[in-house]
Chains A and B, each alone.
Chain A
């Protein structure tokens, strides 16, 4: 029978090959699924992975790539740091929502004043909101030992209710004819986060994502704090010996990933999203977990993985439009991607051996 046998060392190429194999396996399994549903598998896969970039409608869809990838990369950069240290923030979605709400609150309070200070203040408020939401699981873990996995996840649902309350209550636009949802910040110049260069899809959030990739790379590979975060993930006792206080580390990782997710939320509400609605959270916070792992928790990998996942979003929408594929396709695809990645990851740590049954 087949048995798994631990490897002494992981060959370097396997660490890179495993995500690529996961992508290929997702395409194959996805194609098979579409074939079973009665769709042409090749056309479906092409519509999802090829057409958004090079197809006839790519003029519309190509800018969307950065629009979707920006928040994913920004959030995943923060999450990856905690994941390296063994601190599992599963609630970036909630921090994203709260960050968006806090940033929007600054804009709505300032409305209709104009000023160059408004947008930076919104960014700070967004980061602060996400940070605060992330500090709840950090504090509970440090004080009571509560699992940050559960607390951060449950706070997502709290954040979703807060968003609904804001959309129906305090933030409802007075000019919205009673419809739920805040004013549209795209129409408020001092607070808007527009496309910076036409046709690219790049807004301030994309710039921030790029900076986050650079900054986290510097932190993890050049700075003593990043070094200690890696030690903590590999050998917690060695980290204590080196002088890492676990409580500080928990607060740092959850606070930082919360702040980055909160900023992502702010850039979304002031840019592509435009307003706080009861369905403001769109799953970026969860998808970013896949991005972080698909990117091997490495900043450069996260950059590539963020673009790939953004592609599945856009391609999925396109396939829905062109081929009438069901809307759940995107989620199935993303789920399969993580599933195959974890599966192939096993092979980086173990090798398959055929052994005669005893």
Chain B
């Protein structure tokens, strides 16, 4: 077991606390992307023989941080030390040479090749195949990871494929092993095998940096947890000293924001969704009996981790997928069987999450992107003939009203920054004066200023009497905007409850298994 040893060494910041047990230290790491501070002055350290969790919501900066350690990203500022020596890998080769191994969430294996061939492909100087196979067999036996070097990848389960990736790392004798959400693809039994291996590795002095959302897992298996929120380190704690709800509160931010309802009065029911069930898609989650009502002047927030049916829900509301009669009703009119254009005509508008290629066409100008959804409601066409002047005028209005920073409406949408294009997309729908608007991740990847502008615009739209549905992973955003809150988990929507007075524990419970909080909560 990895608990107990060396716990305090890295937490000392009084100048003399650096002991031999400290293996890795990051100091002041920062990385900024256009519009996002992915990492902001991140400092933490990992001791040898420790299983150290990195905990945070999507977009909290965990991936950026570990990619920096693995040499995939160069930090804008800050230093790292590994085993006492400066660690500034130019690329993953250098990181591996310094003793850092990483197992990615998505495997990079060739299905048609054998285990040994795949591992040889990833090596800088592969040994002879027979020697390699022997070493693979040795390592996999030593760490309880049964693996036949001659099997083809295509015949392996997800857990076995992950073993290939782990063995590949272990052959390089890493001092620091990074694992990115390793259990997300595993069955519970496979996860147990993995943890046994990790404990064995830690006992031999390897440090393990473990990324996960699953709080119960982290509380059971990890010695320390560094919690990231919006790119910053919130705290480094012993996860066993805290309940799952406390960890969740640290992850999402404990402070509750007051919901500003000024000027808004919930009126009659505008949008009714009932019994919405989508056929299972080849990928993604099918919706199961989703139902809710939104009133005029009201904002309904739908939370949950992406991939739990968000894409399917917005497609069912925008009209990209149609449903059985009575599933989508606007002002009493049944739109279930209608496509996107008739729904727009009726007043039900949507803004999907993916700006490039879904909500907007990157190669097309802003004028043309204004036509994309505005053609009918803004009368940008007359009997099919496009009125380019009216379209340019509409695009200019969006640009002016929503402060879109761009040289002009002739600019290609793909040339705009994420935040500016998002303002354009949201503005395009809001300016069409919808009766009901559904948005998915309205401020995803958008800088704080633009995000605030978009949120205010959504509030104003509701203030003018529209019904608004905000689908988001950002709990802060949902608490700030919505009057009522519901959680989408595995294709099922919880019953909406009033946001006012809602505590984080209740939200955690509603999000359920999505964050692994339900189990932890019950246990806690």
Determine whether A143 belongs to the interface, using a CB cutoff of 8 Å to chain B. no
On whether A224 and B362 interact (CB within 8 A), knowing A237-B354, A243-B340, the answer reads no
Determine whether B385 belongs to the interface, using a CB cutoff of 8 Å to chain A. yes
Contacts of A227 in B (CB 8 A): 368, 371, 386
CB 8 Å contact bits of B356-395 with A (1 = contact, 0 = none) = 0111111110001001110100000100111000000000
Determine whether A106 belongs to the interface, using a CB cutoff of 8 Å to chain B. no
On whether A225 and B384 interact (CB within 8 A), knowing A234-B361, A241-B352, the answer reads yes
Determine whether A238 belongs to the interface, using a CB cutoff of 8 Å to chain B. yes
Least CB separation from A226: chain B residue: B386
The contact of A237 among B339, B341, B357, B368, by CB within 8 Å, is B357
Determine whether A300 belongs to the interface, using a CB cutoff of 8 Å to chain B. no
On whether A235 and B362 interact (CB within 8 A), knowing A224-B386, A240-B320, A241-B352, the answer reads yes
Determine whether B64 belongs to the interface, using a CB cutoff of 8 Å to chain A. no
Determine whether A187 belongs to the interface, using a CB cutoff of 8 Å to chain B. no
The contact of B359 among A222, A223, A230, A238, by CB within 8 Å, is A238
Docked complex Cα distance between A224 and B372 (Å): 9
Least CB separation from B375: chain A residue: A224
Docked complex Cα distance between A222 and B350 (Å): 26
Contacts of A222 in B (CB 8 A): 385-386
Docked complex Cα distance between A26 and B384 (Å): 42
Docked complex Cα distance between A223 and B372 (Å): 13
Determine whether A351 belongs to the interface, using a CB cutoff of 8 Å to chain B. no
Instruction: Tell me if B381 and A224 are in contact (CB < 8 A).
Output: yes
Shortest beta-carbon distance, A249 to chain B, in Å?
13
Task: Mark out the residues of chain A between 200 and 244 whose CB falls within 8 Å of any chain B CB in the assembled complex.
Answer: 222-225, 227, 230-231, 234-235, 237-238, 240-243
Say which size band chain A's interface belongs to. Answer: 10 to 19
Shortest beta-carbon distance, B69 to chain A, in Å?
24
Determine whether A245 belongs to the interface, using a CB cutoff of 8 Å to chain B. yes
CB 8 Å contact bits of A281-300 with B (1 = contact, 0 = none) = 00000000000000000000
**Centre residue among B350, B361, B384 by max chain A CB count within 10 A:** B361
Contacts of A240 in B (CB 8 A): 320, 340
Instruction: Tell me if B375 and A231 are in contact (CB < 8 A).
Output: no
Least CB separation from B320: chain A residue: A240
Shortest beta-carbon distance, B198 to chain A, in Å?
35
The contact of A238 among B319, B344, B360, B381, by CB within 8 Å, is B360
Which residues of B come within 8 Å of A, CB atoms?
A: 318-320, 339-341, 344, 350, 352, 354, 357-364, 368, 371-373, 375, 381, 384-386
**Given A224-B385, A234-B361, A238-B359, 13 more pairs with CB closer than 8 A:** A222-B385, A222-B386, A223-B386, A224-B375, A224-B381, A227-B386, A230-B364, A231-B361, A234-B362, A235-B361, A241-B320, A241-B340, A241-B350
Interchain Cβ contacts under 8 Å between A and B, 19 examples: A224-B375, A225-B384, A231-B361, A231-B372, A234-B364, A235-B357, A235-B358, A237-B354, A237-B358, A238-B360, A240-B340, A241-B352, A241-B373, A242-B340, A242-B341, A242-B373, A243-B339, A243-B341, A243-B344
